[in-house]
Amino acid sequence: MIQIHELSYAYPQHGRGIGPFDFSVRSGEMLHMTGSSGCGKSTLARCITGLIPHIYHGTMKGSVRIGGLDTAGTPLWRLAESAGFVFQNPAMQMLGNSVEEEILMGLENLGLGRGEMRDRMDEALERFGLGSFRGRAPQTLSGGEQQKLALAAIIARRPPVLILDEPLSMLDVTAATEFAGYLSELARAGTAIVIFEHRSDYLAGLPGIRIAALDSATAPERTGAPGRWARAASDEKRGPKLNVSGLAVTIGGKNIIRNLSFSIEPGEVTAVVGRNGSGKTTLVRALAGLQKHGGSIDIDAMRPDFGQVYQNADLQLFNASVRSEILYRVKDPDMAWYAWLMETLCLRQYEDTPPLILSEGEKKRVALATVLMRKAAHGILLDEPSLGQDMAHKKMLIDICRGLAARGKIVLFTTHELHLAAMADRVILLGQDGIAADGTPEQVFRDADAWKRAGLFVPPWLTETGQRVITA
């Protein structure tokens, strides 16, 4: 179904590129491609779907054939009938005015009858649990819901080939597990699937899946650097705790957060988990003072000073180089600290590169560095910090969180990755009516009723690995 022969590609702007590659994927086969962030997974996906060379300039060599069609010589609309492509950032690919329109657009281009379109749309909405959002504007959905919608819009077209670029990155554990199972069903029905994904655990057990790794020079060579912080930690004075009392947020008449109360001690790494749309991002925004809310948030009766790293790092970057980005408006910068950050976050090689041309994972690390360089008084808040990061960088991220906590700071992050949550000191599980569970990862992961109340479950592979992490 997919035949790739001596494929290589180099971008015209900076000469970075990928390849050469030689591989094929047959009907009913599933290929899981892994690789560290920035290694060219999205570029390869664009080559397979024909977006390269049709709308991207640059130097492409070799050939890609999908269902016998040479991608370079076939119009994109014809290729789209053979191969469906779901991109990494769902928010940027929403075209419709409503959830229904988002799905219909792809079906209209297939030239189907109205009845057939309606049936396929209903099936896709039901499959992805979006039935109650039909009239909603896609921009008003949460990141995870947008990701489901982007997948539904392509899968409703029933292409014989599916190319998926990090399709699980924003899905909660239940949705990710269900979607992985659905992919397996599609493969059994004859669909050829290439999936670029860091969250390998959800795919590992699928029958007949092939795994291939892309090369990269960006993987961190070492982790554990925060040992340096841990040594200094004993000298740090622990500050007062963060108190959240009766927190309530209503947006557009909808209660996003209701009566949430908790406190966090400095020195604690807290993970906030919950279903797509459960209010994790809203909670972070409220803690950062960016969201109007009811109730109180204070540290020692004062407004807390947190640095926040956004889910979408593009919003926070604007300078001409990584160096100027990180040092922007930092008074008397601690250059030793800067050098350590560059080394630990594997950014040294990009010091003179404009941050906005880096990969998603790399941009996220630059945004983290800008916040850490500022040294906010009370700590940091990270919204889905693991998006686009490979396993090595996720471990590095946790090391940094631990290092900050050891310095007496409050560290809170939201995540769908329960692996990552298992490495925190404390997990807060958000349910529909507030906190469903709160405790050590071990306590929370064992509370099956709480997960049920939150509309999630803990997959067996996670209990094993999570347990291992906690014990370690």
Contacts with 389 (C-beta within 8 Å, 6 or more apart), sequence order: 37, 198, 361, 364, 365, 397
Distance (Å) of CA 112 to CA 128, 157, 349:
22, 10, 50
**CA-atom Rg of the chain in angstroms:** 23
The mark string for 114-153 relative to other proteins (x by CB under 8 A, - otherwise) is: x--xx----------------xxx-xx-x-------x--x
For other proteins, give the closer residue by CB, 357 or 448. Answer: 357
The one among 54, 241, 395, 446 contacting other proteins by CB under 8 A: 54
76 binds other proteins (CB under 8 A): yes
For other proteins, give the closer residue by CB, 137 or 435. Answer: 137
For other proteins, give the closer residue by CB, 118 or 446. Answer: 118
The one among 315, 335, 336, 472 contacting other proteins by CB under 8 A: 315
Of residues 217-256, those binding other proteins (CB under 8 A): 251-254, 256
Q: Provide the token pair at 253.
A: 């008449």
Q: Provide the token pair at 172.
A: 């909660």
For other proteins, give the closer residue by CB, 120 or 419. Answer: 120
For other proteins, give the closer residue by CB, 59 or 97. Answer: 97
| Cα separation, 61 vs 8, whole angstroms | 5
Residue 284: CB minimum distance to other proteins, A? 9
66 binds other proteins (CB under 8 A): no
**In one letter, which amino acid is 18?**
I
The mark string for 324-363 relative to other proteins (x by CB under 8 A, - otherwise) is: ----xx--------------------------x-------
From the list 75-83, 198-206, 265-273, 344-352, the region that binds other proteins by CB under 8 A is 75-83
| Cα separation, 154 vs 130, whole angstroms | 14
Distance (Å) of CA 65 to CA 49, 159, 256:
9, 15, 47
| Cα separation, 437 vs 222, whole angstroms | 34
The one among 9, 18, 43, 101 contacting other proteins by CB under 8 A: 101
314 binds other proteins (CB under 8 A): yes
The mark string for 374-413 relative to other proteins (x by CB under 8 A, - otherwise) is: x-x-------------------------------------
For other proteins, give the closer residue by CB, 229 or 306. Answer: 306
64 binds other proteins (CB under 8 A): no
The one among 179, 310, 350, 445 contacting other proteins by CB under 8 A: 310
Q: Looking at the DSSP assignment, which residues form a beta bridge with residue 8?
A: 61
Within 10 angstroms of residue 251's Cβ, the number of other Cβ atoms is: 13
Of residues 33-52, those binding other proteins (CB under 8 A): 46, 49, 51
Residue 303: CB minimum distance to other proteins, A? 13
Residues in contact with other proteins, total (CB under 8 A)?
Answer: 75
For other proteins, give the closer residue by CB, 135 or 190. Answer: 135
For other proteins, give the closer residue by CB, 85 or 445. Answer: 85
Of residues 166-205, those binding other proteins (CB under 8 A): none
| Cα separation, 367 vs 315, whole angstroms | 9
The answer to whether 258 and 433 are in contact (CB under 8 A) is yes
The one among 34, 36, 370, 415 contacting other proteins by CB under 8 A: 370
From the list 101-109, 167-175, 237-245, 421-429, the region that binds other proteins by CB under 8 A is 101-109
The one among 10, 69, 72, 91 contacting other proteins by CB under 8 A: 91
The closest of 174, 173, 186 to 86, measured between CA atoms, is 186
Quick one: three-class SS letters along 380-439?
Answer: EEEECCCCCCCHHHHHHHHHHHHHHHHCCCEEEEECCCHHHHHCCCEEEEEECCEEEEEE
Contacts with 68 (C-beta within 8 Å, 6 or more apart), sequence order: none
For other proteins, give the closer residue by CB, 224 or 294. Answer: 294
The one among 112, 225, 230, 248 contacting other proteins by CB under 8 A: 112
For other proteins, give the closer residue by CB, 182 or 328. Answer: 328
| Cα separation, 211 vs 198, whole angstroms | 12
Distance (Å) of CA 459 to CA 54, 72, 202, 342:
41, 42, 9, 36
288 binds other proteins (CB under 8 A): yes
The one among 19, 67, 106, 379 contacting other proteins by CB under 8 A: 106
Distance (Å) of CA 345 to CA 31, 220, 318, 409:
30, 8, 19, 19
- What ranges in 109-218 are assigned the alpha helix state H? 114-127, 143-155, 173-188, 201-204
